[in-house]
Structure 1
Amino acid sequence: MLTKRDLLRSAAAIAAGAAIARPSLLMAQSYPGIIEAKDIAEEGFIYGLPLVMNYAVMQEFAVDKNSGQFKAPFNEINNQHHVATPEDTAVITPNSDTPYSFIWLDLRAEPMVISVPMVEKDRYYSVQLIDGNTYNFGYIGTRATGTEPGDYLVVGPDWKGETPAGVKKVFQSTTPFTLALIRTQLFNPGDMPNVEKIQAGYNAQPLSAFLKRPAPPAAPKIEFLPATTAGIKDNFFQYLDAALQFVPETSRDKAIRAKLAKIGIGPGKTFEFEDLSLEHKAEILVAMKQGDDKVDKWLASGNKNINGWNVGSFFGDEAFYNGDWVMRAGAAKGGLLGNDAVEAMYPYTRTDATGAPLDGSKHKYTITFAPGQLPPVNAFWSVTMYDGKSQFLVKNPINRYLINSPMLPAMKKEADGSLTLYIQKDSPGADKEANWLPAPDDKIYLVMRLYWPKPTPPSILPPGEGTWQPPGINVAQ
C-alpha cells in the first residue's frame, strides 16, 4: 500500500538506478544537453509532485479495492462514521475533527449533481471541490452557501451547457476527475448518530438521472497505472506521465508542459531506460533532489513565522496559484487537500517559541491562550498532534489526537481565564489531564485548524498579517 510518506521519501531520495529516460525514437542530438535536461527535470518535479500525490490518493480511494484505503468507486459516496485515527495513512496530516465523506467524480461522460440536506445553523459542514491539479475550484457549505438544502452541478473542463432548472450553482473543474471532500462537524463522540443522519442526506448522481433523462454513452474504461511505492521509487516521472493523461493543458502550464515534452514526459508517452547516459541519469537524480529541497525550503520560509508558527495561505484555485508551482507543491507536501484561507487556516510548527525543534522525548511543553485570546472563528478550532517524521496521528493511551473548542467545557481554565494545554508524552496528572495533548516520544509536528476564521479583528486574516496571533509553545518549567 502506498502512503504519502513513502511517496515523499521516494521522491526525495530515489533509488540510484532510477531516472527519467527519453523515448528511443528520439535521436541523441535532439535530446537536451545535460544542464538543460537537469533544469527541466527539477522544474518538472516541482510542477508534478502535487499531480502525482493526488493521482496516488485517487488510486487508493477510488480505483484499487485492495489498497487498504479504498472508499468507493467513482461517482459513489462513501461516508466515514468516525474521525481519522493513526490507522488512516493515505493522506498526511489527516483532520480528526470532522468525519469525512468522499465522492471521487468522473466527469467525462456527463456532469454530476451533488445534493446536500438541511444542516442546523450551529453545525459547520463543507463540500470542498478539488481537481486533479489540486486546485480548490469551489465550495458548498455553511460558510459558502449556507445551511439550506440544495442541488449543485459539477462539470468537467469541456462542458458548456446551460444551468439546469433546480440547480443552485455550477462548479467547473480543470480536470475530468475531481474529488468532492465533505467535512461534517462532530461536537463530541455521542454526536456521531446526528452526523450520520446528515451524511445520509448527501447525494451524488449524474445530471441525466437528476433531469430524469436517458444517460449518455459511458466513458471508456481506463486501465490506471497502479500507484505502488516500488513503481514510484523506480520512476517518479512515469507516474507524472500517468497523472498528466487526466490533467488537460491550460494557459498557465503550457510552458512547463512543453519543456517536459522535450525530455519525453507527457500524456501517452512511454519511457525506456537504456538509452539515457549515466551522466544524464545522475544529473536528473540531482535535479529531483534539488526540486524537493526547494519545496521544503518554501515550506520552511514561504510563510510568516509568528511565535514559532508558520502562518500563511497555501491553498486555492487556479488563479490563486497563478503558475507558482513551488507554492502548489509546498501546499501539497505540507497537507494535501487543504482548504482556502477563508474556509480554514492552518498554522503549523515543528519548533517551540525560541525556534528549537519540538521533541517529546526531550521536553514537556505548554501552550497558553491568554484571557479572551482563543482562536477567533465562526465555526470551531483545534490543535492536532502528529508524529514529526510521518505526519500521521500519534497513538496514545487515551486515544486523544487533538484538543478542540467543543472540548472547552470539560477543560480547566486558570483563575484569570487563560487556557493552558499540556503537550507531552506522559500524563501531566489527573488534575491536568483534561488539558493534555499526548505527544510522541520523538519529534513533534503540530497543526492548528481554524475553521471559518472570523474576517474582522481580532482575526488571523489576512494570512500572516492578522490582528490575532497563535501563542508560542514553551518548554515546561
Structure 2
Amino acid sequence: MSSQSTVRDFARYLKPPVYALAACLSLMATQVSAMNFSASPAEATSIAREAYLYGFPVVEMYKTLYAQAVDQGGKDFKAPFNDIGNTAMVFSPKDSAFVTPNSDTPYSFLWMDLRAEPLVLTLPAIEDGRYYSTQLIDLYTQNFAYLGSRTTGNKGGNFLIVGPGWQGEKPAGIEAVIPSESEIAYGLNRTQLFDEKDLPRVKEIQRGYIVQPLSQFLGQPAPPLSAAIDWPAPVANMSDSPELFNYLNFMLAFAEPQPGETALRERFKKIGIEPGLPYATGQLSAEQRKALEEGIAAGKAEFEQFKKEQVDTHKISSGDLFGSREHLKNNYLYRYAGANMGIFGNSAEEADYIGYFVDNQGRPLDGSRQRYTLHFDKNALPPANAFWSLTMYDGKSKLLVDNPLDRYLINSRMLPDLKRDADGGVTLYLQPQPPAGDLQNNWLPAPDGPFYGVLRIYMPKPELADGQWKMPLLTPVAP
C-alpha cells in the first residue's frame, strides 16, 4: 500500500466524536441540569461501590497524567502530550507522582493523545544482556501491549500506536500496528541501570526513544488538530469521595464503551456517571451524598478484606492483578487492587511482583517494633531471565524510604558484594538500624514504622509460574 493512500486512510481516522468533545467541558462547571440521579439510596450505595472499584484506577491514572503531562510548573512534570520525558536517574523518596515506584530502571514517560492520528514509537537497538521495555497502558490502567527485550527483542524498530476505530494498514517501515481501546494512553519505558557509572549509557539509550505523528514519519501533511482539552485540576479527595465521579466522567469520554460493560454502564447512569458529563456533587442531596459515601466505604472495605485474605497470604499474585482486559476478564476488584498497591505494574509475563506485607507469623511489618531477615538458600535465588530486585517502601506514603545510604533496594547485580552465609545462601536484613559486624552490604534500610517490600522478578523463569520456586518469608529477629 502506498504512503499516500495510508495518509488518506488515517486522515479519515475518527474526527473527535461527540462524547469526546463533551470532555472538553470543565467538570467544575456549574451547569449540571444534564446529570441523572434516579437511584434510590440503597441502590445508589450498591452502584457507588461498583463504580468506585471500577473508577478508582482511572482516576489514579488521571492524577499521574495531570502531574506528568499537564502541570508544567509542577515538580513531577515530564513532557507534554506526544513527547517523551526521560528521567536519567533512579527514583528517590522525593518522587511522588505514583506509589510503589521502581528504582532499578530509569523511566521514560510518554502520554499519548491518539485522537487526531496514530503515533510512531521508535526504540533503539541495544546490547544483549541489558533489559528494556515499553509498557503500553490504556486509561483503565490495563496493559494492552509490550515492546522490548521479552517481546520484540533488543533490535529496536518502529511501532505504530493507534487509537480506537483507526482503519489504516501498516505502513512501510513499521514493525507492528498496536491498537489501544482508549484515545488517551500511556507509554512507560524502563531501561535497566547497572550502577552509577552506567548512567551515561542509559541516557544514550533514552535519547534513542523517539515518538512522532504518523504524518511526520511518512513526510505527509498532518490531519486537522483535535479539539483542545480543558484538563480539570486535581483536588485533595478526588480518589476517596464522590469527587471521584467527576474525574471518572471526564476520562470515560476518551474511551468507547466495551460490549461486555453495557449493563454496568447503564447502572452507572442511575447515579450520574456518564462519559463527558459534569458530575454535580454540589447538587447532591444529603441523602444522596451519604449513599455514595457508604458505597465508597463498602468498596474500600471489600478491598481491605481481599488484601488481607488473598494478597497478604500470597493466594493471589501480582500476575493476577495486572494485565490486559482479556487477562483481567473485567475483574474490577483485581484492577483496583493493582492500582491501589502499585499502579502501572507489569503483566505476569514481563515481571512478577511478590509483596512482603506481613512476616512469617502473618503480622504486619513494622520497623519500630521488630527487625527482620529474608534468607535465600544457595540454589534458590529468585528465578529471573533478566534480573531481580527487592525494594523497600514506607507503609504510610507507599514511597521509597529515605536513609543515610540512599539505598532503596538490593538486586541481583549486587550479589558479588553481598556477604554469603556459611551454607552459601544469602541473608538480607530489613531494619531501621544497620546490622552488626560486616553485614552492612546486606542491609536494606527500613523506616521506623510500618513498611512493605516488593520483590520484582523481571522476565521470570518457568519455575516461578509452575510453583517449583518457593518464596522465602520474612522472619522476625529476636531483640
> Would you say same fold, with TM above 0.5?
yes
Which one of the candidate residues 137, 161, 164 is aligned to 1:157? 164
Partners of 1:274 and 1:215 in 2: CA distance: 42
Instruction: Tell me the CA shift for residue 72 of structure 1.
Output: 0.2
Tell me if structure 1 keeps the 8 A contact 2:122–2:157. Answer: yes
Give the aligned CA root-mean-square deviation in angstroms.
2.0
Instruction: Tell me the CA shift for residue 351 of structure 1.
Output: 0.8
Partners of 2:130 and 2:282 in 1: CA distance: 58
Partners of 2:391 and 2:452 in 1: CA distance: 9
Instruction: Tell me the CA shift for residue 111 of structure 1.
Output: 0.5
Where do 1:398-413 residues align within 5 Å? 398-413=405-420
**Which stretch of the first structure deviates more once superposed, 365-374 or 308-317?**
308-317
SS of 1:332's partner is: helix
The number of aligned residues is 448
Which one of the candidate residues 334, 347, 362 is aligned to 2:354? 347
| TM-superposition CA deviations, 1:166-216 (whole Å, max 9, x none) | 111111111111111000001111111111111111111111111111111
Which one of the candidate residues 283, 297, 309 is aligned to 1:301? 309
Tell me if structure 2 keeps the 8 A contact 1:305–1:311. Answer: no
Aligned partner of 1:476 in structure 2 is 477
Matched, 1:134 2:135: no
Tell me if structure 2 keeps the 8 A contact 1:62–1:71. Answer: yes
| TM-superposition CA deviations, 1:297-351 (whole Å, max 9, x none) | 3333344835x99665311111111211111111111210010001000010211
| TM-superposition CA deviations, 1:428-452 (whole Å, max 9, x none) | 1350001000000001111110000
Partners of 2:388 and 2:336 in 1: CA distance: 26
Aligned partner of 1:446 in structure 2 is 453
Where do 1:263-282 residues align within 5 Å? 263-273=271-281, 275-282=283-290
Aligned partner of 1:393 in structure 2 is 400
SS of 2:291's partner is: helix
Matched, 1:253 2:261: yes
Tell me if structure 1 keeps the 8 A contact 2:318–2:348. Answer: no
Where do 1:304-323 residues align within 5 Å? 305-306=313-314, 312-323=319-330
Distance 1:448 1:22, change over 3 A: farther
SS of 1:347's partner is: strand
Tell me if structure 2 keeps the 8 A contact 1:241–1:265. Answer: yes
Instruction: Tell me the CA shift for residue 410 of structure 1.
Output: 0.8
Instruction: Tell me the CA shift for residue 356 of structure 1.
Output: 1.3
Matched, 1:241 2:249: yes
Which one of the candidate residues 117, 128, 135 is aligned to 1:110? 117
Aligned partner letter, 1:422: Y
Partners of 1:310 and 1:474 in 2: CA distance: 20
Instruction: Tell me the CA shift for residue 24 of structure 1.
Output: 4.6
Where structure 1 has 5 or more consecutive residues not aligned to the other structure, the ranges are 1-20
Instruction: Tell me the CA shift for residue 253 of structure 1.
Output: 2.2
Partners of 2:308 and 2:403 in 1: CA distance: 28
Aligned partner of 1:460 in structure 2 is 464
Percent sequence identity is: 43
Partners of 2:388 and 2:70 in 1: CA distance: 33
Instruction: Tell me the CA shift for residue 358 of structure 1.
Output: 0.9
Tell me if structure 2 keeps the 8 A contact 1:59–1:226. Answer: yes
SS of 1:229's partner is: coil
Aligned partner of 1:72 in structure 2 is 79
Instruction: Tell me the CA shift for residue 109 of structure 1.
Output: 0.7
Aligned partner of 1:53 in structure 2 is 60
- Normalised by the length of structure 1, the TM-score is 0.90
Instruction: Tell me the CA shift for residue 274 of structure 1.
Output: 5.8
Aligned partner letter, 1:441: D
Distance 1:386 1:254, change over 3 A: same
Instruction: Tell me the CA shift for residue 26 of structure 1.
Output: 6.9
Aligned partner of 1:174 in structure 2 is 181
Instruction: Tell me the CA shift for residue 230 of structure 1.
Output: 5.2
- Normalised by the length of structure 2, the TM-score is 0.90
Distance 1:309 1:321, change over 3 A: closer
Tell me if structure 2 keeps the 8 A contact 1:116–1:201. Answer: yes
Distance 1:328 1:309, change over 3 A: closer
Distance 1:269 1:229, change over 3 A: same
Aligned partner letter, 1:298: F
Aligned partner letter, 2:139: G
SS of 2:59's partner is: helix
Aligned partner of 1:88 in structure 2 is 95
**Which stretch of the first structure deviates more once superposed, 125-134 or 426-435?**
426-435
Partners of 1:461 and 1:218 in 2: CA distance: 46
Aligned partner letter, 1:80: T
Aligned partner letter, 1:461: A
Aligned partner letter, 1:101: S
Matched, 1:420 2:427: yes
Distance 1:300 1:312, change over 3 A: farther
